[in-house]
Structure 1
Amino acid sequence: MKPADDLITLVRAYNPRTNEQLIRDAYDFGRDMHEGQYRKSGEPYFSHPIEVASILAQQHLDDATIVTALLHDTIEDTKASYQIVAEKFGTDIAELVNGVTKLTNLQLNSTETKQAENFRKLFMAMSRDLRVLLVKLADRLHNMRTIRSMRAEKQVQKARETMDIFAPLAGRMGMQWMREELEDLSFKVLNPEARNSIIRRFVMLQQETGDVIERITTDMRAELTRVGIGGTVTGRAKRPYSIWRKMEEKDQSFSRLSDIYGFRIITGSEDDCYRVLGAIHRRWRSVPGRFKDYISQPKSNGYRSIHTTVSGRDGKRVEVQIRTKEMHEVAEAGVAAHWSYRDGVPSENPFAVDPARWITTLSEQFQNEDDHEDFLEAVKLEMYSDKVFCFTPKGEVVKLPKGATPIDFAYAIHTRIGSACVGAKIDGMRVPLWTRVKNGQSIEIITAEGQEPQATWLDIATTGKAKTAIRRALREVDRERFIKLGWELARSAFEHIGKKATDKALETAAEKLRLDSRDTLLARLGSAELSASQVVLTLYPKLVPDDGEGVARDRAVIGLAPGQKFERAACCQPLPGERIVGITWKGRGVVVHAIDCPVLGDYEDQPERWLDLHWHAGKHAAVNPVTLAVTMGNDAGVLGRICTLIGEQKANISDLKFIDRKPDFYRILVDIELRDAEHLHNVTSALEAESDIAALSRHRNPSAARPPAPAPAEIGETVGLQTSR
């Protein structure tokens, strides 16, 4: 365990005016409070707060942040209280320590609704004082560095949480070095085989080519000397996770991946940055489309640098970053540069961003998100996205995530413009709305009165703001239609148990389901966001038929004539809880299709054969087969984990087929037997959380559509579609 003097020496190196006694008092208090506590590794627990403080000291942060790091677990894990910390160290430090405690208690890896609410709390805590998050990030970094002492399942949980939440947050704050280390430490836990494979290939590459970094660094230094520009040149191989991500994004093998080395040139002035850029481009061939000027267009977290990729020795691509010393300080510390000290006074870096303004800008993007799923999607999209910079016809800059489309651009300008969009021009040329915009393009949005958002835009848009606005508009457009349909579904479900769907009953159900009104309940019913069975069960759980397996299979569908038989269509495999229609077959019964089944187009000219059907509101037996298409990693134990996850959701696997085998991935079709749409949602949610599953979708096969089987008396045996009796 480091003595207090070591930490104070580290702080004094950048802040000679540090309050040494304050740090020493915090050290002694924290040590006494954690006396007798030990980490999983066997070390005294207080060694952890010291290391967290050291990480923050390396970022040249102020005394209050260093003291908070030393005390950050005292309120949560010891007999110390907020009042005691406030009495000894002041209310400002007590507030910081209490803020870190609240962040620690947030279960960020919980269910989506709770996770979204906790994200809101996270942003609220950040908005009060961003140093709370700085301490939490340093705390998570040290925990990840020492994660091997945890249980295996705990390692995986923490690594996923780090990869999903804390690493993107560090990157969003501009602390790229911390993001990269957090990602790589998580990668080491979540996919050690892939990481070790990349490291082995690096070793082999160095044996074959020698020290590429040293050779290219020497070449660049010589070029700077030749043109008379002062500056330092450093190079490094990119981290294993960064390389793995590039391999995944570009669908390339390691041998074909070119830009695995990065070089940084630190110059004396902004003018020198552009002179260096010219020298580099004259000496080596630049790679088209790989130039970004973050000096003229800084990122929102203050990041400034020129990025370019050139073909170096032997045609190898290398990335070069060019910046000044002040820009480099912000690039290393990000938003934290606001609290950095130099020679005992706060560092007056002209590029450091005001953290209050930064967090306000970030929070404003999410404050209108009422829906939990929309809010969570918006936060994650914003944290993960790399930016591109586009221009309006008037020359104003609009920042968008990589992969954005003109639809995202339109909504970024104003929701009204987005909703009225009918087309777009990029650099004067008319383009489809699904076009991916690029850095530096000028975009003009064409609007028209009376235009309304289209459902297909949801697949085109990439930003949370655009998706939320489109969904909200679509809900409003369809609201009246959904309310009418929801009323019919509710009326039918209530009549089935001998009750009436009165306004009072529906209002009570809405209140119990935490919806704001009866109309909202009906709209959710009509749009299939809520099932009639959920509403009935909410009010009359004892009246819903439950004969062991629940609703008898021959009574599962409402709307059939007495004695009329039905079968679920194999092409779309409709489930209870989904909207359905029936197609009659003379002398054969009814085939039940999902409302969006493409096969229904074959019967558009035969309206007399269509039946308006609904599922029974009760509990259905888990006998309805559904096929899932799964793309999974080709690793030991993955298939077993998939089967286990499905079994844990009380779903039975009836068949499994391998349809594509590749060195890295397998694609399989899994037939599972389910109760209803909610059961399907539970299964897919569990599978999507598995890191080794790369893609998951519901498999539908229009070619499987065929008329219902003849009765056994006619041909001697039953053939055709699966029958729900």
Structure 2
Amino acid sequence: MKSAAHEPTSPRILQPAVSLVQANDDTAPSVEQVSNEAIEFSRLRLQASRYLKPEDVERLEAAFQMSVRAHAGQFRISGDPYVSHPLAVAEILAQWHLDAHALIGGLLHDVMEDCDITKDDIAKEFGKIAADLVDGVSKLDRIEFRSYEEAQAENYRKMFLAMARDVRVILIKLADRLHNMRTLGAVRPDKRRRIARETLEIYAPIANRLGLNTLYRELQELSFKNSYPTRYRVLSKALKESRGDRREVVARLMRSIQERLPAWNVDAEVYGREKHLFGIYRKMVEKRLSLSQVLDIYGFRILVKDLPSCYLALGALHELYKPVPGKFKDYIAIPKANGYQSIHTTIIGPMGMPVEVQIRTVDMHTVAESGVASHWLYKDDSQSLSDLQRKTHNWLQSLLELQTASGDSSEFLEHVKIDLFPGDVFIFSPKGKIYNLPRGATSVDFAYAVHTDIGNCCVACRINGELLPLRTELKNGDQVEIVTAGHASPNPAWLSYVRTGKARAEIRHFLKSAQQEEASSLGERLLVQALRPHGYVLADMGTAAWDKLLKENGIKQRDDILTDIGLGKRLAAVVARRLQDLQAGLTASSVEGESAKPRNSSPILIHGGEGMAVQMARCCRPIPGDPIVGMIRKGQGLEVHVNDCPVLTRNHSADRDRWIDVEWELGTERMFDVTIRVLVEHRRGVLARVAAAIADQESNIQSVAMDSERGPHTIINFVLQVHNRLHLARIMRAVRRTPEVVRINRIRADKPTDKPATDRKN
């Protein structure tokens, strides 16, 4: 979707392929426009010629001429010729020293959207790589969505996936957004705030994740300025007025640092810097401070020649001024995920003013400011990739995994947003490998960070040698060992406390796949049952009948229909009738005169281990031995009820087709929840004695609740796990033999007074 900052205000026009000098028809650029554009391009040409080959510079000029012809007659909202925008984008890319393909992509990044130029046209003129880059940056204006949010989510998904294939796509996109933000003043206020919010939520974090710190800070400043113009103006004015009061202190601090470093044999450059307005504003909001209470507005950066000098400079600084405890971070030993390396320390300067100091080498500074733009990450030679390049490459590839695991665009964007805001928690594996996770991450996040299979099979964890729950939040420097089991699978409850996008996506993907498999199996059984009374066998249904059914419903696979039946989205009886009609129509000639003998319908067998596709109703808690009936609930699968369940009584007349005959399968081994109510005499230790009687019958107590007191008596509600009605009967007899027990009965979850299985003491 094109930002309002550079929407053309005239129809799309494509001029004939002639040079600027030859263009003299009515729609050709004016002499003044050509002159201005030529001046702008001369700056780009000069900048590109400093590092590109002459033949590549010539290709840039050809791309520039195509862009001018394509955008002739188009103007930005500000009134400037539209071609000034792609020129500015290409100039930003040249400042980052990107290659000729990227610069051509910048010059042509809007021609496929705004003009009648195709990808093949670009490929024919400038090659497949440039065409792929332009196509990757193209917007989704021609696609209609139900809402703006859906359109944005799908746009971001396409952007991230294109970025995973070639990082130059996102670099062009970031340059495009930067120029739009710089010229956002011409847009009306409501669109300005929306674009600024998008930039702050998505584009600025991407720039940070890719290590483009200079771009990251500028996007934040411009977003703040356009989102809250009054706050920005007031804060800027107040900061200027406060500079005079602190200037002398800052100058004295800089002089003392510059004088002390040579004494430690450190050759360094010291720079003073003022923190950005957005950072100051965010600190004021988060900590509820006034500007006068924000003391660390100024900071210093020390650039040295080599790694040992970083630590020498740190020693000199801490000898000169006392460091603030807890404010020291060594990102050289443990770099950030985006490759950033530096030592951060906060010292107490003159007059008690806290000052943050960053110490790094010149090379580290280059990476810190330019990130992946300072590397040729998109080259094919993977053997020459640096550690930063490998980390960035792995992150970009993980986007493709998220795409596979995510169900839709909004879910995908949710996962990516989580990973765009990383914290400072560094976790060690038992072998000493370092993993960077968001603050608040758990052992489950760590397990998925190591490998998807380890995450799917994890059952426990040891943090610093101590066995702890999987939901335990990890702290900086923790050593984590994951315990796995081959039969284990992800727990839906993990979704409530995992923090990383990868963990969340993989858990959802596993649960969704498991549910689909279970629902497909159940759907097949339901369809078999629906066909039997009419004399049909599912296996006898021909491929032609299935193909027609799939085509009618716009579905590609047979399993999709079976899954829908299992989840209650389709009725088995309806699908069975349609299959019969299709099969009968196809085989009418071969079976004419014959009559099919109906076969007896048999109920579906329930063993309780079907998983998410079959659920025991909580309103009546059926257990093996109870007479049962099944009810198909749309989107939830089959729900099993006891025959005398109140829900059955209320709903049996409605949706009769949704009720299914079911029976318990012989030899069911799993445990089922059941609730019993025990009226006991109010004596010391009675709860322990009743619990012991239950435990003696090999039953697990899920929960206990003291309901109320009735004079000398107390009501205790137990949720137990039992195998079947016989097991429950043994438990109730054992409890009844406890001297303090007055009465015991089984109850239903929604009607506590129901007493279908009561056992009273005489």
* Aligned residue among 249, 256, 270 for 2:307: 270
Q: Counterpart in 2 of 1:96?
A: 133
Whether the 8 Å CA contact 1:156–1:190 is kept in 2: the answer is yes
Secondary structure at the counterpart of residue 138 of structure 2: helix
Secondary structure at the counterpart of residue 263 of structure 1: strand
* Aligned residue among 107, 117, 120 for 1:70: 107
Which amino acid letter does the alignment assign opposite residue 100 of structure 1? V
CA distance in structure 2 between the aligned counterparts of 1:351 and 1:477, rounded to whole angstroms: 37
Secondary structure at the counterpart of residue 320 of structure 1: strand
State the superposition RMSD in angstroms. Answer: 5.0
**Unaligned stretches of 5+ residues in structure 1:** 341-347, 495-501, 526-530, 541-578, 584-594, 596-606, 618-706, 708-725
Q: How does 1:552-701 map to 2 (within 5 A)?
A: 611=647
CA distance in structure 1 between the aligned counterparts of 2:422 and 2:329, rounded to whole angstroms: 16
> Once the 2 structures are TM-superposed, how far is the Cα of residue 464 of structure 1 from its aligned partner?
1.8
Residue 126 (1) aligns with residue 163 (2): yes
- Evaluate the alpha carbon distance shift between residue 194 and residue 106 of structure 1 in structure 2; reply closer, same or farther with a 3 A threshold: farther
Residue 22 (1) aligns with residue 59 (2): yes
* Aligned residue among 401, 409, 423 for 2:438: 401
* Aligned residue among 447, 451, 460 for 1:410: 447
Q: Counterpart in 2 of 1:220?
A: 257
* Aligned residue among 46, 51, 55 for 2:92: 55
Q: How does 1:11-410 map to 2 (within 5 A)?
A: 11-13=48-50, 19-102=56-139, 115=152, 117-203=154-240, 205-210=242-247, 213-250=250-287, 254-339=291-376, 353=389, 357-358=393-394, 361-372=397-408, 373-410=410-447
Secondary structure at the counterpart of residue 49 of structure 1: helix
- Evaluate the alpha carbon distance shift between residue 518 and residue 145 of structure 1 in structure 2; reply closer, same or farther with a 3 A threshold: same
CA distance in structure 1 between the aligned counterparts of 2:62 and 2:348, rounded to whole angstroms: 55
CA distance in structure 1 between the aligned counterparts of 2:254 and 2:469, rounded to whole angstroms: 44
Whether the 8 Å CA contact 2:302–2:360 is kept in 1: the answer is yes
Count of residue pairs brought into register by the alignment? 546
Task: Quote the sequence identity (%).
Answer: 39
- Evaluate the alpha carbon distance shift between residue 237 and residue 450 of structure 1 in structure 2; reply closer, same or farther with a 3 A threshold: same
CA distance in structure 2 between the aligned counterparts of 1:308 and 1:134, rounded to whole angstroms: 32
**C-alpha distance after superposition, 1:390-416 (max 9, x if no partner):** 101221222212321222112222344
- Evaluate the alpha carbon distance shift between residue 426 and residue 196 of structure 1 in structure 2; reply closer, same or farther with a 3 A threshold: farther
Q: Counterpart in 2 of 1:521?
A: 564
Q: Counterpart in 2 of 1:690?
A: none
Q: Counterpart in 1 of 2:701?
A: none
Whether the 8 Å CA contact 1:489–1:614 is kept in 2: the answer is no
- Evaluate the alpha carbon distance shift between residue 209 and residue 3 of structure 1 in structure 2; reply closer, same or farther with a 3 A threshold: closer
Which amino acid letter does the alignment assign opposite residue 371 of structure 1? G
Q: TM-score, normalised by structure 2?
A: 0.60
Q: Counterpart in 2 of 1:699?
A: none
Which amino acid letter does the alignment assign opposite residue 362 of structure 1? S
Which amino acid letter does the alignment assign opposite residue 229 of structure 1? V
CA distance in structure 1 between the aligned counterparts of 2:298 and 2:394, rounded to whole angstroms: 31
Whether the 8 Å CA contact 2:338–2:392 is kept in 1: the answer is no
> Once the 2 structures are TM-superposed, how far is the Cα of residue 309 of structure 1 from its aligned partner?
3.3
- Evaluate the alpha carbon distance shift between residue 108 and residue 24 of structure 1 in structure 2; reply closer, same or farther with a 3 A threshold: farther
Whether the 8 Å CA contact 2:405–2:506 is kept in 1: the answer is no
Which amino acid letter does the alignment assign opposite residue 430 of structure 2? P
Q: TM-score, normalised by structure 1?
A: 0.62
* Aligned residue among 47, 54, 74 for 1:10: 47
Whether the 8 Å CA contact 1:581–1:611 is kept in 2: the answer is no
CA distance in structure 1 between the aligned counterparts of 2:280 and 2:554, rounded to whole angstroms: 50
Secondary structure at the counterpart of residue 405 of structure 2: coil
**C-alpha distance after superposition, 1:262-313 (max 9, x if no partner):** 4322211122222223323333333444443333333454333333333334
> Once the 2 structures are TM-superposed, how far is the Cα of residue 229 of structure 1 from its aligned partner?
0.9
Q: Counterpart in 2 of 1:637?
A: none
Secondary structure at the counterpart of residue 334 of structure 2: coil
Which amino acid letter does the alignment assign opposite residue 8 of structure 1? R
In our comparison, the structure showing a higher alpha carbon Rg is 2
- Evaluate the alpha carbon distance shift between residue 354 and residue 419 of structure 1 in structure 2; reply closer, same or farther with a 3 A threshold: closer
Of structures 1 and 2, the one with the larger relative CO (CA 8 A, separation 6+) is: 1
CA distance in structure 2 between the aligned counterparts of 1:199 and 1:410, rounded to whole angstroms: 46
Whether the 8 Å CA contact 1:57–1:66 is kept in 2: the answer is yes
Whether the 8 Å CA contact 2:520–2:560 is kept in 1: the answer is no
Secondary structure at the counterpart of residue 440 of structure 1: coil
Whether the 8 Å CA contact 2:425–2:439 is kept in 1: the answer is yes
CA distance in structure 1 between the aligned counterparts of 2:346 and 2:273, rounded to whole angstroms: 14
- Evaluate the alpha carbon distance shift between residue 304 and residue 356 of structure 1 in structure 2; reply closer, same or farther with a 3 A threshold: closer
Which amino acid letter does the alignment assign opposite residue 468 of structure 1? A
Q: Counterpart in 1 of 2:729?
A: none
Which amino acid letter does the alignment assign opposite residue 220 of structure 1? I
- Evaluate the alpha carbon distance shift between residue 19 and residue 464 of structure 1 in structure 2; reply closer, same or farther with a 3 A threshold: closer
> Once the 2 structures are TM-superposed, how far is the Cα of residue 74 of structure 1 from its aligned partner?
3.0
> Once the 2 structures are TM-superposed, how far is the Cα of residue 43 of structure 1 from its aligned partner?
1.4
- Evaluate the alpha carbon distance shift between residue 432 and residue 207 of structure 1 in structure 2; reply closer, same or farther with a 3 A threshold: farther
Deviates more, 1:275-284 or 1:145-154: 275-284
- Evaluate the alpha carbon distance shift between residue 197 and residue 582 of structure 1 in structure 2; reply closer, same or farther with a 3 A threshold: farther
CA distance in structure 2 between the aligned counterparts of 1:126 and 1:218, rounded to whole angstroms: 45
CA distance in structure 2 between the aligned counterparts of 1:73 and 1:329, rounded to whole angstroms: 31
Whether the 8 Å CA contact 1:38–1:44 is kept in 2: the answer is yes
Whether the 8 Å CA contact 2:52–2:100 is kept in 1: the answer is no
- Evaluate the alpha carbon distance shift between residue 91 and residue 425 of structure 1 in structure 2; reply closer, same or farther with a 3 A threshold: closer
Q: Counterpart in 2 of 1:630?
A: none
**Unaligned stretches of 5+ residues in structure 2:** 1-35, 378-383, 531-537, 579-615, 621-632, 634-642, 656-750, 752-762
CA distance in structure 2 between the aligned counterparts of 1:223 and 1:118, rounded to whole angstroms: 53
Which amino acid letter does the alignment assign opposite residue 276 of structure 2? R
Q: Counterpart in 2 of 1:463?
A: 500
CA distance in structure 1 between the aligned counterparts of 2:178 and 2:64, rounded to whole angstroms: 20
Whether the 8 Å CA contact 1:103–1:125 is kept in 2: the answer is no
